[in-house]
Copies of this chain bind each other. A is one copy, B any other.
Amino acid sequence: MLCAEEEIRMTDYSAGCAYMDGSFVPIAEAKISVLDWGVVRSDCTYDVAHVWQRRFFRLDKHLDRFLRGVEKLRMRLPFERERLEAVLHECVVRTGLDDAYVSMTCTRGRPPAGSRDPRLARNTFYCFAVPFVWLATPEQQAAGLHLHVSSIPRIGAGSVDPTVKNYHWLDMEMSLFEAYEHDANFTVLKDGEGNITEGPGYNLFALRNGTWTTPARGVLEGISRQTVLDLCGELNVRAAAGTLSEAALRQAEEIILTSTAGGVMPVTRLDGKPVGDGTPGPEGTRLRQLYWQKHSAPGWSTLVRGAQP
């Protein structure tokens, strides 16, 4: 489509295919200048969609969010939404992958030489498809995850807007080290008022008295989070975004984490104590099963263009 078929056949994209500076390249060659403000100021936004069995899952919602983020950061993409979508499809097709993790990033780029004015910068866009990433493997999910409530507060929503998906993760990275020291492999951070927010790459839901609650503010408005809210609607299960205190989390009957990189993942231990009976609960399991069923349901996914159904 975008370059000669022969070139594609002769290039090994199996580890991943990126689109950078207007060309498709193997992922190992996808590099960005160390002077780009996406690197030296983390001045960028990104999004990650996924492909499952050759179908994009809710790609439109990811594109909506990404384009909103680009606008909020006052950046501009090199092309319109339609072309962006075509490039994402093409990256996947070139890898030949059935299940892929598809990332897109827009950075500030760099202002002209001698200037430090971000308004003058030519923004950088790149995207790539790589093999599907599991935040927790299916085996880990079957056993359940161990979660730690971090002592490190999440970066305030007033400082960095969490609804603009961003790479400001040092708080979450350091809280991961803290989690390991508490024999946990997952972490969740609180806001300045001590309420639960999110973890590195995922939202959280807690079930109590038949109602799922997910933090309303100070978090990324995750597409998987929205999917769980939608599935609860289908199942006639009560679920809402609201305030989730640490105390309420510790009284939860079930806890799940939601992420594009893994779906609906049950937490079975919270700071060393079992959640419910210490095994993945029935309500979370039901949501997890329905989440994966939707990947082939009409209206929820799109066949990768050029892929065989």
Contact = CB atoms under 8 A, between A and B. Distances in A.
Interface of A: 18, 20, 27-28, 30-35, 37-43, 46, 73-74, 105, 108, 116, 118-119, 126, 128, 130, 133, 135, 152-156, 158-160, 166-174, 176-177, 180, 192, 200
A150 to B, nearest CB: 10
How many protomers of this protein does the assembly include? 2
Given A34-B126, A135-B116, A159 B173 contact: no
| Residue in A20, A31, A119, A159 with the greatest tally of chain B CB atoms within 10 Å | A159
Contacts of A171: 159-160
A118 B177 contact: yes
Shortest beta-carbon contacts, A-B, top 5: A31-B31, A41-B169, A42-B42, A159-B171, A155-B159
Contact of A169 (B18, B42, B156, B200): B42
Contact of A30 (B33, B38, B43, B177): B33
Contact of A155 (B41, B43, B119, B168): B168
A283 B140 CA distance: 63
A187 to B, nearest CB: 12
B33 A34 contact: no
A168 B128 CA distance: 24
B180 A119 contact: yes
Given A40-B46, A42-B168, A152-B159, 9 more contacts: A30-B34, A31-B32, A39-B167, A40-B167, A41-B200, A43-B173, A118-B173, A156-B192, A192-B192
A32 B34 contact: yes
Contacts of A160: 155, 168, 170-171
Contact of A43 (B33, B37, B74, B170): B170
Contacts of A28: 33
A15 to B, nearest CB: 9
B152 A158 contact: yes
B108 A173 contact: yes
A79 B73 CA distance: 38
Contacts of A46: 40
Contacts of A192: 156, 192
Contacts of A126: 34
5 contacts: A18-B34, A31-B33, A38-B39, A156-B156, A192-B192
Contacts of A18: 34
A99 to B, nearest CB: 14
A38 B171 CA distance: 14
A46 B35 CA distance: 13
A151 to B, nearest CB: 9
B159 A41 contact: no
A128 to B, nearest CB: 7
Contacts of A40: 46, 167, 169
A262 B74 CA distance: 27
